[in-house]
Amino acid sequence: MGVLMSKKQQVERVQKCNAVVSAFQAGIKDRPAAAKPAEREAEDGEGPKAAPSPEEPNAEEAPREEAHGGAGPSTSQQSSAPSRDECKVNQEAWSRLRDGKGVEPEDLDKSHQLTPPAFVRPKRESNDDQPVEVDLEEKEQPPNEEMCDVCEVWTADDLYPCRTCTRVFHDGCLRELGYLRAEALQEMRDTAHTVTGWSCYYCDNLNLLLTEEEMYSLMETFKQCKIIPESCLVSDELLQYRHFASKQQFDKDLTDEQEEEVLAQFAALDPEKKGHIEWSDFLYHESLAVLRKFRTENSLVRLLTAKERDKARSVFLALNRDKDGTITRAECRQAQTSWFHKLNKDSQSCNVSISHVGPMCESSPASSGSERSKTDDNRPATWADFLRESAIYIVAARPNSSAMHIRLPV
């Protein structure tokens, strides 16, 4: 199948390849491979540092000595060296949180030919909290883009679409980008053209929805709670984090009931029962908590893409059987669980859901509320109400992970 590429694109790709080859050749010619970490430390420092001489007897120790900030440590200093090195690694991990996952493009595997994107955090507009007019009857149905978002080349049916936005990708471009692991690439090939769909690396990363100020607030909380970026968390660590956060925010410890809720959320973030939750899943969960804390419902509606609004229309119209433009609150909550059906690859009934985190049924203990809750179930909800109340759940369903990043309504 032919590939169309403009002359300008061909020239740009050739220039990129030439620049990479030249830099690689110059690096091999000018310095030994073992000295690269030391030179990088010298470049990042506040002042110039002398590069280690190739004639030194122990050249392999030079990068390690340079990372510790000077000459080789004495015997009495060697015991404290690992802790200093670990502290430096943690500081570097914090500095890499700009892209929302803890990996900067320049730190990725250089064997890949394409450069990952530089993510830019959004800024809130002056009208961000104002109501959004979304017509129920007018479907948007946005078409997908025609060219790969990475290489900007059209190859007809060889492109994989994102279920959330209109971007499309070549699997080869995503592989060369080095941003997705092999298993994530295979999942994309298996699901992108199905009803389940696949979220691209922009939409999958919920942390990218946070502004610089919101991200700073989240990072400060992590630092105070001694959460190490890029690490997995076991249940005790999540409980300790929640206790510390509760103490900082409300000056009180968690109750027994709140501890049970934390453990239930842990189970929802560890659906495969590995005994720990991945860093990305924990980060997404905390990012959603920040959005719920600092954003209004109108602001959250503005985060929805045209595809998500169209799906919300379809769900609302299916529930509005009498065509009066309203549904009940119970139907509203039922619809909000529908965004997470993609996660239930195996047929599961609501009776085996984890605590009250997963989809609920009427026989669930969490759903059998008081008379007041039954009265609330029958209250009408308009299309505007439904969209505002459902926005956070629609956004929470974007990640490809099977983890449940938000508690569903009961």
Amino acid making up residue 146: E
Shared domain check, 282 and 231: yes
| Rounded Cα gap, residues 30 and 145, in angstroms | 44
Mean pLDDT of 249-278: 90
* 69 is a domain residue: no
In the chain, pLDDT over 90 holds for what percent of residues?
Answer: 39
Shared domain check, 220 and 197: no
Q: Which residue has the higher pLDDT, 156 or 60?
A: 156
Shared domain check, 338 and 368: yes
| pLDDT for position 26 | 55
Rounded to the nearest 10 degrees, the angle between the axes of helix 235-250 and helix 256-269 is 130
* 16 is a domain residue: no
Shared domain check, 211 and 199: no
Shared domain check, 284 and 219: yes
Of the three residues 187, 204, 221, the one that is the final residue of a domain is 204
Q: In whole angstroms, how large is the CA radius of gyration of the chain?
A: 25
Of the three residues 145, 170, 204, the one that is the final residue of a domain is 204
Q: Which residue has the higher pLDDT, 97 or 409?
A: 409
Mean pLDDT of 139-155: 89
Mean pLDDT of 377-395: 92
* 238 is a domain residue: yes
- Longest CA pairwise span in the chain (Å): 85
Q: Which two tokens stand for residue 107?
A: 């730190």
Scanning 126-211, the segments in alpha helix (DSSP H) are 171-177, 182-191
* 243 is a domain residue: yes
* 38 is a domain residue: no
* 100 is a domain residue: no
Q: CB of 68 within 8 A of CB of 85?
A: yes
Q: CB of 269 within 8 A of CB of 282?
A: yes
Of the three residues 277, 294, 311, the one that is the final residue of a domain is 294
Is 90 buried (19+), middle (13-18) or exposed (0-12) by CB count in 10 A? Answer: middle
108-140 pLDDT tens trace: 444 555 666 778 899 999 999 999 999 998 889
Total number of domains in the chain: 3
Shared domain check, 264 and 184: no
Shared domain check, 337 and 358: yes
Shared domain check, 288 and 229: yes
Shared domain check, 308 and 377: yes
| pLDDT for position 378 | 84
CA angle 174, 178, 182 (to 5 degrees): 75
Question: Can you give the residue range of the structural domain that contains 195?
Answer: 156-204
* 370 is a domain residue: yes
Mean pLDDT of 213-218: 92
CATH, residue 272: 1.10.238
* 189 is a domain residue: yes
Q: Which residues pair with 289 in a beta bridge?
A: none
From 113-127, 170-184, 235-249, 396-410, the region with the lowest mean pLDDT: 113-127
